[in-house]
Structure 1
Amino acid sequence: MNRATRPGSEAYPVNGAEAQVIPLHAHGREKPAASEPPAAEPSAAAPVVAFPAATAPSPEPDPLPDAVREALAFLRHRLTGDYPVDEFGFDAELTETLLLPPLRALYEKWFRVDTFGVEHLPTAGGALLVSNHSGTVPLDALMTMVAVHDETRGRHLRGLGADLVFKLPLVGSLARKSGQTLACNADAERLLSGGELVGVWPEGFKGIGKPFSARYKLQRFGRGGFVSAAMRAGVPIVPVSVVGAEEIYPKIGDLRLLARLLGLPYFPITPFFPLFGPFGVVPLPTKWTIEFGEPVRTDEYGPDAADDPMLVFTLTDQVRESIQHTLYRRLSRRRSVFRG
């Protein structure tokens, strides 16, 4: 039998004979499916281009800073008259927008005030804050106002001021708008009963106008009218001690004749004023501390206790001694007038 086959063919026996099958495709290659066209060979010269994914456009930055927007909103409210003012003339929006920012810069950058005992400040309800007074110019009252506002997250200190404050042009108007009112028992009781924080400086002009040689020595607290107001309202009394204000304008003399002509309680002479003119008005950058002492409760007394002069005097002396003791303690720890 001839078993010779053609190259590439396979032989199968059929009825004793071998049939030759010739494959249509070469060995090692499969016939592509009819439904699938042959893949094109990639060209080495064709570059592969990658397109970046589409991204959302970034929002445009706000061209107006926050301070400008707040100023524009403030002006809009001023023009429309859409702002509240209470019965005492207190304008909270004006105070927080125009008055507090420059005072806060003085508070933080110039006097570098440190506060202690802020946990004694009530977060709600009325309280009477009683503080020492010093510095020739009453900046201590303004710095205490900033401390109370910032440490209580927005509560305002309603100060009780002397008659002279409200008689001065522009000063009196600003004092009213910032929440200050006349130092009288009627106004104090109304504010305290309304849940406000009220500040009083019982030394008055005797405190801020005392000579430099008498610094940090508390003057007489008067008849204790502030104590009776707190007792009638049933609110606590918080002693406040300020160290650092005595040295901002060291008073070494007093032009009494000029003071009487101007209707002032005193006309101070300091090492820099009036010798250096307007430059002598700049306060010295002393280091301040403000400490809020433990409150003295008044709600434990009866409703008629405010008419007991001995009890009023006892509580007045207790508050005064607490402030004086704290001042001496703070002074004993102070190493430098300007560094604290």
Structure 2
Amino acid sequence: MNHATRAGSEANPVNGAEAQVIPLHGPGREKPAEVPEQAEERVDAPVVDFPAQPSGPVREPAADPLSESVRSALTFLRHRLTGDYAVDEFGFDAELTETLVLPPLRALYEKWFRVDTFGVENLPKAGGALLVSNHSGTLPLDALMTAVAVHDETGGRHLRGLGADLVFKLPLVGSFARKSGQTLACNADAERLLTNGELVGVWPEGFKGVGKPFSARYKLQRFGRGGFVSAAMRAGVPIIPVSVVGAEETYPKIGELKVLARLFGLPYFPVTPFFPLLGPLGAVPLPTKWTIEFGEPIRTDDYGPDALDDPMLVFTLTDQVRESIQHSLYRRLSQRRSVFRG
């Protein structure tokens, strides 16, 4: 057998010769210890980068607002049918106000007048306070919008407004006003509400303010004898000045029909550029841009019991509140660029 045949036979195990194993570690070196199977899998396993988990809290899916509205409506209807709802001593029905009154007013507040609020930190989260505001706009929409602002900015507190006698003499309006938290503008009712820790709203200008002509806009009328100051002093609660800009232009009053006012028993029957000329369409308020500012509280608990008998002190505090509101109105008006855009 030649050399080629012998080499082929040694390299070919099929022909009966064993194949030569050449150690990879080379001659004179020991074979390294075998790597454990588990460790070998860790080395050879591919590294996979998983996406990082969010560091913040996991948010639950947002609740369906339509479903919440339906559940709220069904709960309200069940309570109405079973009589399982509460009314306080003044006739205030909180559930009815939350379900039927505030939602449409909130839509007007957010979408139509686009109200901006300032000084909400001056609204107490608990305890009584007397909110004193300017009054304007031919119809008292400013009182309603202020009630929405107080409710939404305090996490659910209701503004208990003090209304004129006429409000409670009107058919249906008086009963509805009672159920939505309004009560008669008298010191006795105001003191009881304030002592009970309620937020009470008062508009000292009355019909003189809300019914003043457009030419006198943002000029505060007389505040009366300061009865609201006496009520706050007796209850020992702060007085919060409130200034509303934007309500004056919703129904610009350019005149009034005194004959119709006497006929319907109203303090005035307004004439605006659109009403009564356009009929019911003229009763739609103009979409002016509003701002509501809650001023710094004026404390009344520092005065002794004898202070109530001091008419000059009561007059001074009344004038202080009035001047605070007037200055706030002028400041906001100077910053306003447009009636409709703010």
What TM-score do the two structures reach when normalised by structure 2?
0.81
Counterpart residue identity of residue 107, structure 1: Y
- How far apart in 2 are the matches of 1:75 and 1:102? 18
Distance (Å, rounded) in 2 between the aligned partners of 1:67 and 1:297: 40
Q: How does 1:96-245 map to 2 (within 5 A)?
A: 96-245=98-247
Which residue does the alignment assign to 1:287? 289
Unaligned runs of 5+ in 1: 1-26, 28-60
Q: How many positions carry a matched residue from both structures? A: 284
Q: Name the CA distance, whole Å, in 1 between partners of 2:141 and 2:172.
A: 17
1:162-199 Cα offsets, whole Å, 9 max, x none, are: 00001111111111001100000000000000000000
Cα deviation 1:210-265 (Å, max 9, x = unaligned): 00000000000000000000000000000000000000000000101110111000
Q: Deviations over 1:260-317 (max 9, x none)?
A: 1110000000000000000000000000000000000000000121221100000000
What displacement does 1:68 show? Answer: 1.2
Larger radius of gyration: 1
Q: How far apart are the structure 1 equivalents of 2:176 and 2:289?
A: 27
* SS of equivalent to 2:72: helix
**What residue identity is the alignment partner of 1:75?**
L
Match of 1:30 in 2: none
Length-normalised TM-score, structure 1: 0.81
Within a 5 Å distance, the mapping from 1:7-46 to structure 2 comes to none
SS of 1:65 mapped into structure 2: helix
Cα pair 1:243 1:327 within 8 Å, conserved = yes
- Report the counterpart of residue 313 of structure 2 in structure 1: 311
Distance 2:265 2:173 in 1: 15
State the shift of 1:67 in Å.
Answer: 1.1
1:327 aligns with 2:329: yes
Deviation per CA, 1:40-61: give whole Å up to 9, x if none: xxxxxxxxxxxxxxxxxxxxx9
Measure, in 1, the Cα distance between the counterparts of 2:240 and 2:132.
6
Q: Which residue of the partner structure matches residue 15 of structure 1?
A: none
Residue 278 of structure 1, aligned match among 269, 275, 280: 280
Q: Which amino acid aligns with 1:231?
A: M
Q: State the alpha-carbon separation in 2 of the partners of residues 306 and 105 from structure 1.
A: 42
Structure 1 counterpart of 2:263, one-letter code: L
In the alignment, which residue of structure 1 is the partner of 2:81?
Answer: 79
Q: Please list every run of at least 4 consecutive aligned residues from structure 1 whose deviation after the TM superposition is greater than 2 angstroms.
A: none
Kept in 2: contact 1:256–1:266 (CA 8 A): yes
Query: How big is the alpha-carbon RMSD for the aligned residues of Structure 1 and Structure 2?
Result: 1.7
Q: Which region of structure 1 is more displaced relative to structure 2, 252-261 or 197-206?
A: 252-261
Corresponding position of 1:248: 250
Measured after TM superposition, the shift of residue 133 of structure 1 is: 0.0
SS at match of 2:305: coil
Answer yes or no: is the 8 Å Cα contact 1:228–1:307 preserved in 2.
Answer: no
> What does residue 46 of structure 2 align with?
none
